[in-house]
């Protein structure tokens, strides 16, 4: 891949957490999560059903699947935060996101219900996040394959996840002249 080419699967590269996560960094990530519902609505505004059913890259999900994936993924993360805040390093259950994206609702449902779900979910999640202190963000949950994961690292991952999928959609729009 040359310097001007973009990896369509990871248009903003893979997540790399900063060595030290500060309160200012967490606040910036919380702001990103707060803005995601609005930014996603803008990213798909005016797209036809045919455009929503276009894959953002060869072999990738359609824009519609990405739209539905965001609340699916973020609901799972929200629950992980709540578990970690109320239990000592709880073991979480991963989910098969690729299989979820192949379900009929993810492939064919209108975007509006997922946009509304994401809006409500993020309003609630951001409210929770804004109440947390350093000791809360240091709490962990246990992933069966990855081990203990801190909430502040996870917050950064999901801010990245938001930018990542927005970039897939906006990159497709730009390349397609939409």
Cβ-count burial 44-65 (b if 16+ within 10 Å, e if not): beebeeebbebbbeeeebbbbb
What are 116-175's pLDDT values in tens digits?
Answer: 999 999 999 999 999 999 999 999 999 999 999 999 999 999 999 999 999 999 999 999
Assess contact for 71 and 100: CB atoms under 8 A. no
The first and second tokens of residue 60, run together, are 């990738």
Structural domains for the chain: 24-41+60-173 (1.20.120.450)
Interval 12-60: pLDDT, tens: 999 999 999 999 999 999 999 999 999 999 999 999 999 999 999 999 9
């Amino acid at each position: 891949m040359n310097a001007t080419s973009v990896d369509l699967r990871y248009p903003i590269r893979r997540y790399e957490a900063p060595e030290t996560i500060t309160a200012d960094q967490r606040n910036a990530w919380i702001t990103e999560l707060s803005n995601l519902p609005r930014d996603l609505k803008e990213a798909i505004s005016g797209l036809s059903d045919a455009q929503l059913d276009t894959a953002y890259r060869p072999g990738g999900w359609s824009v519609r699947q990405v739209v539905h994936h965001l609340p699916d993924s973020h609901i799972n993360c929200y629950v992980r935060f709540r578990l970690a805040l109320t239990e000592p390093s709880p073991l979480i259950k991963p989910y098969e996101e690729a299989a979820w994206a192949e379900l009929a609702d993810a492939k064919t449902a209108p975007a509006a219900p997922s946009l509304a779900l994401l809006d409500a979910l993020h309003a609630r999640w951001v409210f929770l996040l804004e109440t947390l202190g350093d000791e809360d963000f240091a709490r962990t949950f246990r992933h069966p394959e990855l081990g203990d994961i801190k909430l502040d690292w996870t917050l950064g991952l999901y801010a990245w996840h938001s930018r990542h999928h927005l970039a897939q959609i906006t990159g497709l729009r730009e390349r397609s002249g939409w």
